[in-house]
């Protein structure tokens, strides 16, 4: 038995309903911690890459906080009161606000990460990537599928960067980040299948949680050194 969630975008097993919101809150908190630790490293080293890394995870965190809050409102059937306060006429509108806010912020975070890996200071490059990506999201007939294919492509690019970094140094920190982004890529692919199969939605959340914890662990190890 399944439950259609977030404007009928995903199929979610009934037993997992509510747990996904809890995980989104955990994602928001963990990615916030990653952003904070990344910023601390930036303050110590003044490395531009650390600054961009922290900004990207602050964007991820904000996307999860907003998505979690709106999903919680919908799940607890407070829609009519909240919609009156916010002047939103339907639950569907609230759903789409959560979905597209998450998509925009998460895409911006991924582009910022990809820009970090390029190690180029030309601001025109991320600006171009933002414009192309957001125009694609606007005009794509199936925006959800476009988002997952776009984010998967960017994650492949980022994963390749960390794979090269690990093969050059063989450091534990590079291995942890490499595994984390492999898991994020796999989670993204699982989300594509979760549009039709509920089990993939559960697996995707589990993979994301492990990935964010690995990234956080890596930053803690760096700061201890």
pLDDT digits (tens, 9 = 90+) for 22-41: 888 999 999 999 999 999 99
pTM for the full model? 0.85
User: Which pairing describes strands 10-13 and 2-5: parallel, antiparallel, or unpaired?
Assistant: antiparallel
Q: How far apart are the first and last CA of the chain?
A: 49
50 backbone dihedrals φ, ψ, rounded to 5°:
-65, -35
Per-residue pLDDT band at 108 (split at 50, 70, 90): very high
The mean pLDDT value of the chain amounts to: 82
Per-residue pLDDT band at 205 (split at 50, 70, 90): confident
Q: Which of 201, 186, 193, 188 is nearest to 13 (CA)?
A: 201
């Amino acid at each position: 038995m399944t439950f259609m969630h977030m404007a009928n975008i995903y199929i979610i097993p009934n037993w997992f309903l509510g747990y996904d919101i809890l995980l989104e809150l955990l994602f928001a908190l963990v990615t916030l911690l990653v952003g904070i630790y990344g910023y601390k490293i930036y303050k110590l080293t003044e490395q531009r890459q650390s600054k961009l890394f922290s900004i990207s995870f602050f964007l991820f965190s904000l996307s999860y906080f907003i998505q979690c809050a709106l999903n919680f409102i919908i799940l607890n059937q407070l829609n009519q009161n909240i919609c009156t306060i916010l002047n939103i006429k339907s639950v569907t509108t609230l759903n789409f606000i959560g979905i597209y806010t998450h998509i925009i912020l998460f895409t911006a975070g991924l582009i910022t990460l990809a820009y970090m890996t390029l190690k180029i200071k030309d601001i025109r490059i991320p600006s171009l990537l933002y414009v192309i990506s957001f125009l694609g999201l606007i005009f794509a007939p199936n925006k959800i599928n476009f988002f997952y294919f776009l984010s998967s492509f960017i994650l492949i690019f980022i994963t390749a960067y960390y794979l090269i970094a690990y093969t050059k140094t063989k450091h534990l920190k590079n291995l942890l980040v490499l595994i984390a982004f492999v898991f994020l890529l796999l989670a993204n692919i699982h989300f594509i299948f979760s549009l039709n199969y509920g089990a993939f939605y559960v697996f995707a959340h589990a993979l994301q949680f492990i990935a964010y914890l690995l990234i956080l662990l890596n930053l803690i190890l760096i700061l201890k050194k």
